[in-house]
Amino acid sequence: MTKEHHCKLLVIGAGPAGYVAAIRAGQLGLDTIIIESNALGGTCLNVGCIPSKAIIHAADEFAKAQHFAGKSPLGIAVKTPAIDLKKTVAWKDAIVKRLTTGVGGLLKKSKVRVLAGWATFKDGKTVEVKTKDGAEIVRAENVIIATGSVPVELPFLPFGGNVISSTEALSLDAPPKNLVVVGAGYIGLELGIAYAKLGSKVTVVEALQRILPLYDNELTRPVAKRMKALGMHVHLGAKAKGLGKGGKELVIEVDGKEETLPADKILVTVGRKPLTEGWGREELVLDMDGRFIKIDDQCRTSMRGIYAIGDVTGEPMLAHRGMAQGEMVAEIIAGENRRWNKAAIPAVCFTDPEIVSVGLSPDEAKAAGHEIKTALFPFTANGRAMTMEAEDGFVRVVARADNHLILGVQAVGGGVAELSAAFGLSIEMGARLEDIAGVIHAHPTQSEAFHEASLRTLGHALHI
């Protein structure tokens, strides 16, 4: 006899969006079940955000060691460093295990039942779960779809062998001698820069005429400068065509001419797509927004009692967006009055240097019809940046010209990801330039650049 479960809330997918929704629902006393076919934590914790930052950190530390093996103005000298990538990957895996185990503990603490298996809808309230012990049925009053996203695969470069996705790039035994990265978005450049620091000869192939197309040229210029310093080669306006002889070459087309690039590994990072197939969507009547599930400002779908959150609902495909949605939906199901009305969602690119963008860029603000005031403050004039050898970059503020309401804040520089909370808070709280200018920022810190950028936008910066 097939085992049956009944619950108030069923969450399909235990990535950041799903597990946060389940934990919050459990805290609110909702009888909750969460289903996950792989490891708890989803892409982000297992093969995305967390492990990639671990590899990036290891690459940064190795690059520092190499820096000190040469002539360093800091007076530090070391012998020629070496990297054992197997040990690095083992360290990364240990971090992932700690976090995924922690998610399991939090779900248990919140009295959430966890089913390991693949869920398929039978109707809007019923799901069949294929577990290792056989099929089980779950009937729920409310359902949250949090199935996430998967890497986009190019038909002429299918994953396998030397063609890898970001998942495989995080578990290599050694840095490849020649690494070709197809796609100059944030995933490709984060990993490409890391492997360049680890000793790989990295070539980037991008179909557009610029790197990091989600960010403006002013923000990406320091990244391009650093890539050049690392010896990375970039082919813009280039199309990948397929594998060359022996599978260790990539054929590309630039200006109508074909070239062949040596490639021990080819990392394809041309984006991610929502996982909307394979779990019985055809059994439901869900309105779609292009390739994404259409939702309203409460993350409700077109079917009563069914919600969708995270990557499956559209851009930006960011873990923290999904987590915020998950928390909100759990509270809505528990009877609270919530709406999705975020003024800004921070986006961080963990390249070298890092990029942070919150709210509107100058061009986006103008396109939205705003008359703006904007200025930047360079880290070359920031004492803390100087002492960190991190002078490339700046903080930029975008505000309305009439009332000085802050519309956006962007930064590029070493470690600027940690400024994202201050940037986001200023926009969510409706701060004006005068508000940031009036806050005493600790000295010496990189955060002073936010203060100075606001002062400069008002026309009276102190240190430039």
**Alpha carbon distance 236, 213 (integer Å):** 12
**Alpha carbon distance 360, 363 (integer Å):** 8
- Dihedral angle of Cα 266, 270, 272, 276, to the nearest 10 degrees: -100
H/E element, 188: helix 186-197
Backbone angles phi, psi at 371, to 5 degrees: -90, 125
Task: Examine the residue annotation and report whether 404 is marked as an active-site residue of this protein.
Answer: no
* Paired sense of beta strands 272-274 and 265-268, if any: unpaired
DSSP state of 209: S
Q: How buried is 125 (Cβ within 10 angstroms: 0-12 exposed, 13-18 middle, 19+ buried)?
A: middle
Residue 337 CB neighbour total at 10 angstroms? 7
What tokens does 457 get? 């936008």
Backbone angles phi, psi at 221, to 5 degrees: -60, -45
**Alpha carbon distance 298, 291 (integer Å):** 19
Amino acid at 87: K
Q: Which residues contact 416 (CB under 8 A, 6 or more apart)?
A: 353, 354, 355, 356, 393, 395, 446
Q: Which of 235, 443, 451, 460 is catalytic?
A: 443
**Closest among 164, 206, 213, 165 to 183, alpha carbons compared:** 206
Give catalytic residue positions.
Answer: 443
